[in-house]
Structure 1
Amino acid sequence: MATARRMLAAVAHRGPDGASWCHHRGVTFAHCALTFVDPGRARQPLRSAGGSTVLVLNGEIYNHPELRRELRADGVRLRTGSDTEVLVELYERHGTAVLERLRGMYAFALHDARTSTTVLARDPMGKKPLYYTRVPGGVAFASELTALLRHPAAPRTPDPAALAGYLTFQAFCAPGSAVTGVHKVRPGHYVTVSQGKLVETEFWRPRLGAGPRVPVRQAADRFEELFRAAVARRVTSTERRLGVLLSGGLDSSAVAAVAQQLSPGRPVPTFSAGFADRDFDESGHARAVARHLGTEHHTVRVTGRDLADVVESEYAAADEPLADPSLLPTRIVCRAARQQVRGVLTGDGADELLLGYRYFQAERTIEVLLRLMPAHRLQTLLGALVRVLPARTGNLPATAALRLLARGLDAAPEHRFYLSTAPFRPDESAALLTPDARAAALAGPDPFAEISRLLQGQDGLSGVQRSQLAVFAHFLRDTILTKTDRGGMRSALEVRAPFLDLDLVEYGNSLPTALKLRRLTGKYLLRRVASAWLPESIVHRTKLGFRAPLAALLREELRPLLLDTLAPAALRADGLFDAEAVRVLTDDHLSGRRDTSRKLWALLVHQLWYRGRAAAPPAPLALTEETHRAP
């Protein structure tokens, strides 16, 4: 009980609607609630009607109404209107096979007393986090690393072997974590623990390939049907009012358009960030979309001081290092949105599903050029091009994307995206680490192992497809979705992503590349479909991307924190990073000689976490013991 209180206090921000616990046949469950369905009766942990299974669920099962009808047709009398009860009753009948039928975003843990088995499961996209570690007598698990580390038997030693991967991917990628001995359940996997044995099983993985050829109009009609259904699932699965994070780009604007169509006569709340720097500001486009659709629009003005305040107040106590700077404005906008709604929709996933990133355009260009000339000649050509292309820190023109991608031309297509965009390439990170940390990193796992695993059995993919699968593997799952979950749930705001609906993803993955990337125009099908809903200027505008003015932030508002955190004496005491190498990066950036902001940001984020991980724990929560406690 005391351990459950300490652990749950660390994630109290995720659920302000009450906290409960129960002990079931040797397993303790605790849950803090953010309710969307039947808040009066659907308290968790939830026990099955037969009493054999107890379950805690983080997230939402969007197709629970259809599954509920099936249970009732089989004679099951349900006690609540919650998706959690539907899940636990279906599990009692079908076991882990139920995972193949769920549509939603979720991580859940359950204990089945019939087989003395604990199951930890995570949805196919990895929208909700789930950490676990072995402890005497079984496993401990939690939605956040900070909570897991409150368990008295949990390991607490940072993992230097995982540092190289973090410096390349900007995140600690599943199944690893920043702490030795702590793991994440991989997206599309479940872990079973029984009689001391731990077994990981995959139930879904992304597969690319050309399905049957279909006419463009037929493909667009089917895409629109699935997209509308995906938005409707997320809007109609709750009676709570939902908003939309509206950037003013195509993806979030399409989501807002369908959400507003599903809410006739009642404006949907939309929220956007406004920056003073025009290279980062899309608020004017967002306002134009809001006027066109008739939404209730809110612009959240974000200053450099606002961004710095988030870093200074939250990053030392962060769940795990994440070096994506767009987490900063995401956190601020989500905090403002929570004052109006408790859930929002986003356009996340469209770029990965429909080849919207400029890197895919550059990859296609390289693919074509390699048919015309050998690789060594292309390397020479691109090397000359790189020397004359302009460098920008805000918007990223297609030529700049090609410039970055050319850095990884000698690598496999599935590695190029990361090698071109990484704060530190593997050879750079090795030089940055101290000898002891370098030895640990070199002895650690291959950072690209998960990408290689997902490519197994998918022969014949083009370079663009291999790159797409790689971007899906880590950038989407471990960076983008971690950012949105963390940015929203710090304020108990649930973030829902219609483009990552499983039915829509599987359809998009089955389509030929030409229906997603037509010549050098990404998201072709979405542009075709959305042209009936949005102004032409939005449908065809160049993607800006949701970014933070990082270079200026480190030179100005965050300069004192940067100098203090990355001071040579502090780095020598920590023993991870070479103090002189970091000093050169810092001096170059602060003097304006070159922009090293992404490198410095990755180091700053890690070191704030590294030194703050021993911060005083939050006060334990007062928990309610559920009346269905098992004997």
Structure 2
Amino acid sequence: MCGFVGFSDAGAGQEDARVTAERMLAAVAHRGPDGSDWCHHRGVTLAHCALTFTDPDHGAQPFVSASGATAVVFNGELYNHAVLRAEVRAAGVALRTGSDTEVLVELYELLGMRMLDRLRGMFAFALHDARTGTTVLARDPMGKKPLYYTCVPDGIAFASELTALLRHPAAPRTPDVRALADYLVLQAFCAPASAVSGVCKVRPGSYVTHRHGALDEIEFWRPRLTPDRRAGRGPGRREAARRFEELFRAAVARRMTSTDRRLGVLLSGGLDSSAVAAVAQQLLPGRPVPTFSAGFADPDFDESDHARAVARHLGTEHHVVRIGGADLAGVVESELAVADEPLADPSLLPTRLVCRAAREHVRGVLTGDGADELLLGYRYFQAERAIELLLRVLPAPRLEALVRLLVRRLPARSGNLPVTHALGLLAKGLRAAPEHRFYLSTAPFGPGELPRLLTPEAGAELTGHDPFTEVSRLLRGQPGLTGVQRSQLAVVTHFLRDVILTKTDRGGMRSSLELRSPFLDLDLVEYGNSLPTGLKLHRFTGKYLLRQVAAGWLPPSVVQRTKLGFRAPVAALLRGELRPLLLDTLSPSSLRRGGLFDTGAVRLLIDDHLGGRRDTSRKLWALLVYQLWFESLTAGPRALESPAYPALS
């Protein structure tokens, strides 16, 4: 894992280019503590900091091809680099190192961008082809690694993180209000937009080319589901389970055996991470795999006993990271103001703490991320199935009234996923399209709330705004999907790719820890997408196929247990440890400096939450995270900070 930056520099002096690269790279130093380097490659400057896993002695970056024509900086790992290395050698290329980066650049010179179909791993990379004067920026199909870019007078600038890109002297610094509106609904700044106007993110499964001042975007992969009406052509349950297990085991093995470094597992005690830990431990008999879990002081959020039981069953080397309110507040106060682009998922806080503790033992960990989206594990999908059935006999208004009646009659509580809260959120989205319901039921702010939240000047920029543009784009050309399938594709579009994977990348890389996700192996994803819904959500049991497969590895209590969810007690934090920060950061004077939010609307949200009248913590959290970032942005570039590395030479 690594961080990188780069920019066009035709006509610039080498010393100026070096200083700019050094300043930008210092902002992502946490992504690569093993060393850094830079190069000027025929009109483009590239710089890189490394967290090495393959051939650390010879795979230093930027890496230049044997021909000298192509230079690359690469963040990620190719899990099938051994297979690709053999193919490259068979084509007559004499490889000089054992690095997967060299395989990438030489494969490009053999196949061009057709090589993307051959890659299996997680990656974001930038390469410069001097033969054509083309700069290429690419991200893996799921978008596990970030990549930002912007046009500058000399051409293009790019970086692994927005914070680094903004240190380029020509980078824009104006907040993007339309992207902010998306964030307030979707919890993240979703590709291709970013928090800053004029700065873009490369979409997952896409690459961007820059040549002679022209930008082009090419999509090489997108998630596609097989319509359920073709279910009769699909495999039976036994055949599907056999093939799924085969692909899952291969996915875990790829991530465990592609490096000599010792790896661990983030173990929540739920089915997904427990299945990953089970296979990982089977691959290393007699060598306990390190596992790590969070132990919350609040019992409504704590799964550490379940994780401990799984660890005992599997025989892993288990570590519990105890997390209290002060620990979570400490991450907010020390990091969010200087962190990268805002993300309104509060589970980033415990993720960061667990990753920081894991880094004391290992350089990388496997996770269970992706199983809920691939195999319909969220309770939301069960609700979507129920909605499909109930709307056949009840009109939407009557169903909505029934849910609201249940909400009023059930007792309120503020723990992890209380029933009343879940039902209330569900009621908000009942009349919406299936692909919108998940977001409307979980959004910090619904689209209809934004005009009251934003100032008139900011709100005027939202004419014609649609937060679901990207969802609609990916649904085009996929007719015949059921409501559950449409909702699954929507959840993958933003919640998985822009929220979950941003959280894991950021939580891990702030700790210089690599996170690997076997459930997001491309072969496994494509197989899961080809299966009928009934093999994933069987009646109202999610992750049905995984439960069948894992029954031989794990205790029944784990296989059958209902998902709790990895969350942080934000409602209590905002009333307690973070109350002073909340009141200061969202004070009228602070908000007026930005001119984006209506001070009266925000004050009402604060008073309601702190006064106990209603839980507005999701809204306040989104606003607090954004405002902390905004204040850092308007403070100006942190150009005078000392770089984390010795000066680039």
- Mapping 1:257-268, distance limit 5 Å: 257-268=278-289
| Structure 1 letter corresponding to 2:127 | L
- Which residue number in structure 2 is paired with residue 629 of structure 1? none
C-alpha separation in 2, matches of 1:159 and 1:262: 47
1:441 CA displacement:
2.8
| Structure 1 letter corresponding to 2:160 | S
Are 2:22 and 2:648, in contact at CA under 8 Å, matched by a contact in 1? Answer: no
Q: How many percent identity over aligned positions? A: 76
- Which residue number in structure 2 is paired with residue 138 of structure 1? 155
Segments of 4+ in structure 1 off by > 4 A?
Answer: 397-400
C-alpha separation in 2, matches of 1:393 and 1:242: 36
1:395 CA displacement:
3.2
- The alignment status of 1:480 with 2:500, answered yes or no, reads yes
- Mapping 1:569-588, distance limit 5 Å: 569-588=589-608
Are 1:358 and 1:401, in contact at CA under 8 Å, matched by a contact in 2? Answer: no
- The alignment status of 1:514 with 2:522, answered yes or no, reads no
- Which residue number in structure 1 is paired with residue 299 of structure 2? 278
- Mapping 1:283-362, distance limit 5 Å: 283-362=304-383
Are 1:163 and 1:441, in contact at CA under 8 Å, matched by a contact in 2? Answer: no
C-alpha separation in 2, matches of 1:506 and 1:406: 33
| Structure 1 letter corresponding to 2:490 | A
Q: For 1:319, what is the secondary structure of its paired residue?
A: coil
- Which residue number in structure 2 is paired with residue 594 of structure 1? 614
- Which residue number in structure 2 is paired with residue 628 of structure 1? none
1:457 CA displacement:
0.5
1:592 CA displacement:
1.1
C-alpha separation in 2, matches of 1:304 and 1:429: 30
C-alpha separation in 2, matches of 1:376 and 1:558: 40
Are 1:362 and 1:402, in contact at CA under 8 Å, matched by a contact in 2? Answer: no
One of 123, 129, 147 as aligned partner of 2:164: 147
- The alignment status of 1:415 with 2:436, answered yes or no, reads yes
- Which residue number in structure 2 is paired with residue 388 of structure 1? 409
- Which residue number in structure 2 is paired with residue 44 of structure 1? 61
Are 2:412 and 2:420, in contact at CA under 8 Å, matched by a contact in 1? Answer: no
| Structure 2 letter corresponding to 1:29 | L
- Which residue number in structure 2 is paired with residue 438 of structure 1? 459
Are 1:389 and 1:403, in contact at CA under 8 Å, matched by a contact in 2? Answer: no
C-alpha separation in 2, matches of 1:599 and 1:169: 12
- Mapping 1:176-187, distance limit 5 Å: 176-187=193-204
Q: For 1:492, what is the secondary structure of its paired residue?
A: coil
C-alpha separation in 1, matches of 2:420 and 2:391: 17
Q: For 2:511, what is the secondary structure of its paired residue?
A: coil
- Which residue number in structure 1 is paired with residue 9 of structure 2? none
- The alignment status of 1:33 with 2:50, answered yes or no, reads yes
Q: For 1:132, what is the secondary structure of its paired residue?
A: strand
Are 1:363 and 1:405, in contact at CA under 8 Å, matched by a contact in 2? Answer: no
**Cα deviations across residues 41-67 of structure 1 (Å, max 9, x unaligned)?**
000000111111000100111111111
C-alpha separation in 2, matches of 1:422 and 1:517: 24
- The alignment status of 1:235 with 2:256, answered yes or no, reads yes
- The alignment status of 1:454 with 2:474, answered yes or no, reads yes
1:392 CA displacement:
4.1
- Which residue number in structure 2 is paired with residue 376 of structure 1? 397
1:160 CA displacement:
1.7
C-alpha separation in 2, matches of 1:306 and 1:383: 37
- Which residue number in structure 1 is paired with residue 646 of structure 2? 622
C-alpha separation in 1, matches of 2:142 and 2:538: 26
| Structure 2 letter corresponding to 1:593 | R
1:573 CA displacement:
2.5
Structure 1 stretch displaced more, 3-12 or 423-432: 423-432
1:69 CA displacement:
1.0
C-alpha separation in 2, matches of 1:145 and 1:10: 9
**Cα deviations across residues 280-310 of structure 1 (Å, max 9, x unaligned)?**
0000000000000000000000010000000
One of 204, 208, 215 as aligned partner of 1:191: 208
Are 1:131 and 1:182, in contact at CA under 8 Å, matched by a contact in 2? Answer: yes
C-alpha separation in 2, matches of 1:45 and 1:433: 44
Q: Judging changes above 3 Å, is the alpha-carbon distance between structure 1 residues 177 and 87 closer, same or farther for their aligned structure 2 residues?
A: same
C-alpha separation in 1, matches of 2:500 and 2:412: 24
Report the TM-score, using the length of structure 2 for normalisation: 0.94
- Which residue number in structure 1 is paired with residue 626 of structure 2? 606
1:400 CA displacement:
5.3
| Structure 1 letter corresponding to 2:114 | A
One of 489, 492, 505 as aligned partner of 1:469: 489
1:623 CA displacement:
4.7
| Structure 2 letter corresponding to 1:235 | M
Gaps of 5+ in 1: 626-631
**Cα deviations across residues 399-424 of structure 1 (Å, max 9, x unaligned)?**
75444222111111000000010010
Are 1:362 and 1:401, in contact at CA under 8 Å, matched by a contact in 2? Answer: no
Greater relative contact order (Cα < 8 A, sep 6+): 1
Q: Judging changes above 3 Å, is the alpha-carbon distance between structure 1 residues 390 and 64 closer, same or farther for their aligned structure 2 residues?
A: farther
1:491 CA displacement:
1.1
Gaps of 5+ in 2: 1-17
C-alpha separation in 2, matches of 1:162 and 1:390: 37
- Which residue number in structure 2 is paired with residue 550 of structure 1? 570
C-alpha separation in 2, matches of 1:223 and 1:395: 31
C-alpha separation in 1, matches of 2:309 and 2:34: 36
**Cα deviations across residues 80-122 of structure 1 (Å, max 9, x unaligned)?**
1111000100000100110111110100000011111100000
- Which residue number in structure 1 is paired with residue 5 of structure 2? none
Q: For 1:244, what is the secondary structure of its paired residue?
A: strand
- Which residue number in structure 1 is paired with residue 13 of structure 2? none
- The alignment status of 1:128 with 2:140, answered yes or no, reads no
Q: Judging changes above 3 Å, is the alpha-carbon distance between structure 1 residues 392 and 356 closer, same or farther for their aligned structure 2 residues?
A: farther
